Amino acid sequence: MFKKLKITCDEATTICDKNQYGEATILELLKLNIHFIRCRICSLYTKQNIKMTKIYKGHSKTCKQVTHCMTTQDKENLKKALEETSI
């Protein structure tokens, strides 16, 4: 029975990634937590993965507030440059 709950480190990282997006099942999470008992590296990977996700989510919120637009003059210059290279 316990052999069914054993997973490799590759499977553990896959489950960790799925869990971040809410796609991991309860059985997968159980297998992952059992794997953490014997594998500290995967446990560290999960902690780092969670921390990076929080950092990126915080950064993406500030990026969404900034509008990235070209000025009319820049658009005209780009059109001219594209017309010159296509000739």
- What is the pLDDT, as a whole number, of residue 56? 84
pLDDT (0 to 100) of residue 14: 94
Q: Considering the entire predicted model, what is its pTM?
A: 0.63
Which pLDDT does position 87 carry in this prediction? 64
Q: What is the mean pLDDT of residues 64-73?
A: 80
Residue 31: HSE in the Cβ half-sphere, 13 Å Cα cutoff = 22
Q: Which residues contact 53 (CB under 8 A, 6 or more apart)?
A: 20
